[in-house]
Copies of this chain bind each other. A is one copy, B any other.
Amino acid sequence: MNIQSYLSKKSKQVDQALENCLPGAGEYPKHLHQAMRYAVFSGGKRVRPILVLAAAEAVGSKAQKVMPAACAIELIHSYSLVHDDLPSMDNDTQRRGKPTCHIKFGEDTAILAGDALLTLAFKILSEGSFQAPSQELKRRLEALGLIAQAAGNYGMVGGQVLDMEFQKKHQNASVSDKDLPAMEFINVHKTGALIAVSTRVGALLGGGTKAQTEALYRYGKRIGHLFQIVDDIMDKEGYAKILGAQQSWKQAEALVLKAKQELKIFEKKAATLEALADFILMRKN
């Protein structure tokens, strides 16, 4: 199992699926659709959708079966970046070396493109064969609710509000040890919730048992936490600023171990998710 080639293959499949569910750049209203596409095709690594696919595979499902959910979660992630970058929020003019959506398309269109991506995510989750047995339909409604929960006021959006409040409060004051619980709360919601729901719904929609789905949800929570710590180490921000790089690495390594422990019940079937945990620890960008 070469994780690099797995990621490359899957991210191409995700890109193709996203292409199929996004409106064409020439479709009316063009300006909106171009902004939506710009936000989605901007060099993202597709971590969340790949976690959805890998979780489904771990419970014995074909990846393609959960591709709509994988795309929906990536659309939600994309919209959140567009709105986070806005002048009244983080006021970022560049992302991954390119102008942010509102710089390129105007603030009004960027806000609406974000709104449209979020709406489209739920549209995609509603689609598919209505000939499916009722067990399958129930799982789809349940997954949709879990994703909305992770993305909304008790999840990602709530985390972003708290992050902004935290930043305003610390504008002129440095952070210290005693800010760690608040920072952890922010990260669990702002970044962690959408990552954790990725493996959770991958397992659920892949037809996993309750025990499998719960184990992969716990795995996803560890991965979300790990992701944030590695980000912070690279950016010399957040945790890393307080704990120092060495202590942060130790914590990251411990999270990889804990994540892998959740995979034990899958035996060999979760080899990809094991490799993914190592990969996130080791990633350089």
Interface residues of A (CB under 8 A from B): 23, 28-29, 31-33, 36, 79, 83, 86, 88-89, 106-109, 111-112, 114-116, 118-120, 122-123, 125-127, 130, 133-134, 137-138, 140-142, 144-145, 148-149, 151-154, 157-158, 160-162, 164-165
Q: Indicate whether A29 sits within 8 Å of B158 (C-beta atoms), given known contacts A83-B115, A111-B89.
A: yes
Residue from B32, B109, B115, B134 in contact with A134 in the complex, judged by beta carbons closer than 8 Å: B134
- Residue pairs across A and B with Cβ atoms less than 8 A apart, 16 shown, are A29-B153, A29-B158, A32-B157, A32-B161, A33-B153, A83-B112, A109-B164, A114-B115, A115-B118, A116-B152, A116-B158, A119-B153, A119-B157, A120-B153, A133-B134, A137-B141
A152 CB contacts on chain B under 8 angstroms: 116, 119-120, 123
The answer to whether B134 and A122 touch across the interface, beta carbons within 8 angstroms, is: no
- Contacting residues, chain B, for A88 (C-beta < 8 A): 106-108, 111
State the CA gap A32–B126 with chains docked (Å).
Answer: 28
20 additional A-B pairs beyond A79-B115, A116-B158, A126-B148, beta carbons within 8 Å, are A29-B162, A83-B111, A88-B106, A89-B108, A108-B164, A109-B164, A112-B157, A114-B115, A115-B118, A116-B153, A119-B151, A122-B122, A122-B144, A123-B145, A123-B148, A123-B149, A123-B152, A126-B142, A130-B138, A134-B134
In the complex, the answer to whether A31 meets B127 with C-beta atoms within 8 Å is no
Closest to A144 in B: B126
How far apart are A27's CB and chain B's nearest CB, in angstroms? 9
* Residue in B33, B79, B140, B148 whose beta carbon sits within 8 Å of that of A141 in the complex: B140
The answer to whether B141 touches A32, judged by C-beta atoms less than 8 angstroms apart, is no
Q: Which residues of B contact A83 (CB under 8 A)?
A: 111-112, 115
Q: Nearest Cβ in chain B — how far from A18, in angstroms? A: 14
Q: Which residues of B contact A140 (CB under 8 A)?
A: 141
In Å, the complex CA distance between A134 and B148 comes to 22
Instruction: Verify A130–B118 contact, CB threshold 8 A.
Output: no
A153 and B106: CB pair below 8 A? no
- Nearest residue in B to A79 (C-beta to C-beta)? B115
Residues of B within 8 A of A154 (CB): 23
Nearest chain B CB to A2 CB, angstrom units: 37
